């Protein structure tokens, strides 16, 4: 019984929707980064593949290149998912707080004095 309880505690964080959203999008970013690095190695722009594999430790260069792309694409995918959370899901959905409107704001020298009088 003890083992089952510790396992359920260990995977409890997967039930949190925000964590799942971030983990899924991080995985998407990692997959995209691996595709880009693989594509760069396949295309060999400017002799990049030859330069990496001519080194005495190509794993270090590949690891650093992959890590940079993972940070870039992973954070982009996670940030995009967070920013898209507030958008309506379907075309028929209305914005949560009504229609946005613009408010006028006086500017210039007279605006500071006008604001002080109110």
**Cα–Cα distance between 21 and 55 in angstroms, integer?**
39
Tens of pLDDT, residue by residue over 27-80, are: 999 999 999 999 999 999 999 999 999 999 999 999 999 999 999 999 999 999
Task: Give Cβ neighbours of residue 44 (< 8 Å, ≥ 6 apart).
Answer: 50
Tens of pLDDT, residue by residue over 82-106, are: 998 876 666 665 655 667 778 888 7
């Amino acid at each position: 019984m003890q083992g089952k309880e510790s396992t359920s505690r260990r995977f409890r964080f997967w039930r949190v929707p925000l964590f799942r959203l971030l983990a899924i999008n991080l995985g998407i970013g990692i997959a995209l980064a691996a595709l880009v690095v693989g594509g760069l190695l396949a295309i060999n722009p400017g002799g990049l593949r030859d330069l990496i594999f001519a080194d005495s430790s190509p794993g270090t260069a590949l690891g650093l290149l992959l890590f940079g792309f993972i940070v870039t694409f992973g954070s982009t995918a996670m940030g995009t998912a967070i920013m898209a959370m507030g958008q309506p899901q379907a075309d028929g959905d209305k914005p949560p707080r009504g229609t946005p409107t613009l408010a006028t704001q006086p500017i210039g020298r007279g605006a500071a004095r006008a604001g002080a009088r109110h």
